[in-house]
């Protein structure tokens, strides 16, 4: 299985937001690879008037109906208009979680960097669907500050253990988003956090993490980083887990490294895992499979 190659500057589209969120609501367990948001090339700075589309949408974010507010927010995200930034930032405080989610996605689409710090603050939002959107939006900026926050504040379980299934879904979705970044600086650490999630004592949470791991080879950086872990990791558990993962995922590019490990790794359990992974890959590569 070859990794999904995402052309630069084409990392997801705003019409796909509703589909993506619907998938995430039902859980990462159905294995949809998370893409980044295609940001506006630039923001317009038009003065406008009270009757133009952006002005009507700005007024709409104050509507009493949450559905109407969401629709107005979606239009603001599509507007690529600088006037949309301030009302969207205000919408991050909306009492309705779906409205806050829409505002996060819209700010990710606009790409104005003044939104990065407010989005980082949203990492502590009580709703996991909002946090899922935050992880994706932060990564879409392709900026050191936002990517670092996504990894070390949203994904990391060093200071905040995973609380429940929703929390696991938000963290796992962000692991996949991090592996879509143009830089690989954060990818391997995100994968190691994912491995720690796969040891969770709660079966339902562990399943979410395991199925997310199978999506890694489809991301921009995942296949390269998994093969890298096989090559350089000094931790037998990491090598065993990675070997079995690439075997289950059908990552044929890992065959040469697995063969080397199976023939010469000093840890017998690692050699056995590599051998089993090679058997899986051979079976997946067999004609008619």
Contacts (Cβ under 8 Å, ≥6 apart) of 82: 43, 44, 45, 112
Q: Is residue 271 part of a domain?
A: yes
pTM higher than 0.75: yes
Cα separation, 104 vs 66, in Å, equals: 15
Q: Is residue 284 part of a domain?
A: yes
C-alpha 104: how far from its chain's center? 14
Closest listed residue to residue 137, CA positions, set 93, 92, 96, 197: 92
Q: Is residue 268 part of a domain?
A: yes
Q: Is residue 83 part of a domain?
A: no
- Percent of the chain whose predicted confidence (pLDDT) is above 90: 83
Max avg pLDDT among 2-6, 45-49, 263-267? 263-267
The domain tally of the chain equals: 1
Take residue 145 and report the two structure tokens written for it: 């500050």
Q: Is residue 282 part of a domain?
A: yes
Q: Is residue 275 part of a domain?
A: yes
3-state helix vs strand vs coil in the chain, percent to 5: 65, 0, 35
Contacts (Cβ under 8 Å, ≥6 apart) of 185: 147
C-alpha 163: how far from its chain's center? 19
Take residue 3 and report the two structure tokens written for it: 């990794």
Q: Using pLDDT thresholds of 50, 70 and 90, give the confidence band for residue 21.
A: very low
pLDDT value of residue 122: 98
Closest listed residue to residue 172, CA positions, set 37, 11, 29: 29
Q: Is residue 279 part of a domain?
A: yes
Query: How do residues 228-251 score in pLDDT, each as one tens digit?
Result: 999 999 999 999 999 999 999 999
Q: Using pLDDT thresholds of 50, 70 and 90, give the confidence band for residue 285.
A: confident
Domain of 284, in residue numbers: 221-289
pLDDT value of residue 49: 63
3-state SS, residue 81:
strand
Query: How do residues 81-124 score in pLDDT, each as one tens digit?
Result: 999 999 999 999 999 999 999 999 999 999 999 999 999 999 99
For 13, counting Cβ atoms within 10 Å of its Cβ (0-12 exposed, 13-18 middle, 19+ buried), the class is exposed
Q: Is residue 41 part of a domain?
A: no
Take residue 58 and report the two structure tokens written for it: 């700005």
- Cα four-point dihedral sign 220, 222, 227, 233: positive
Take residue 50 and report the two structure tokens written for it: 């009270």
Cα separation, 58 vs 52, in Å, equals: 10
222 pLDDT higher than 70 = yes
pLDDT value of residue 48: 63
Specify the CATH number for the domain of residue 276.
1.25.10
């Amino acid at each position: 299985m070859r990794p999904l190659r995402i052309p630069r500057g084409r990392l997801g589209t705003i019409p796909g937001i509703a589909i993506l969120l619907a998938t995430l609501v039902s859980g990462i367990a159905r294995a949809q690879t998370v893409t980044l948001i295609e940001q506006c090339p630039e923001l317009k700075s038009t003065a406008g008037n009270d009757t133009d589309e952006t002005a009507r949408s700005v007024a709409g974010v104050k509507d009493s109906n949450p559905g109407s507010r969401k629709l107005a927010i979606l239009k603001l995200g599509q507007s690529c208009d600088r006037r949309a930034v301030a009302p969207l930032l205000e919408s991050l405080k909306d009492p309705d979680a779906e409205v806050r989610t829409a505002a996060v996605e819209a700010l990710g689409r606009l790409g104005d960097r003044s939104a990065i710090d407010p989005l980082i603050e949203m990492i502590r939002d009580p709703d996991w669907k909002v946090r899922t959107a935050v992880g994706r939006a932060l990564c879409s900026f392709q900026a050191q500050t936002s990517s670092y926050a996504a990894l070390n504040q949203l994904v990391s379980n060093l200071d905040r253990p995973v609380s429940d299934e929703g929390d696991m879904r938000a963290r796992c979705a962000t692991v996949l988003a991090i592996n879509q970044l143009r830089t690989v600086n954060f990818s391997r650490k995100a994968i190691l956090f994912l491995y720690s999630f796969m040891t969770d004592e709660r079966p339902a949470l562990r399943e979410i993490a395991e199925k997310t791991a199978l999506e890694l080879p489809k991301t921009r950086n995942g296949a390269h980083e998994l093969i890298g872990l096989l090559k350089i990791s000094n931790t037998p558990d990491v090598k065993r887990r990675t070997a079995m993962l690439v075997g289950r995922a059908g990552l044929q590019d890992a065959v040469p490294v697995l063969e080397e490990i199976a023939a010469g790794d000093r840890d017998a359990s690692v050699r056995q895992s590599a051998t089993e992974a090679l058997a899986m890959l051979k079976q997946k590569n067999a004609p008619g499979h």
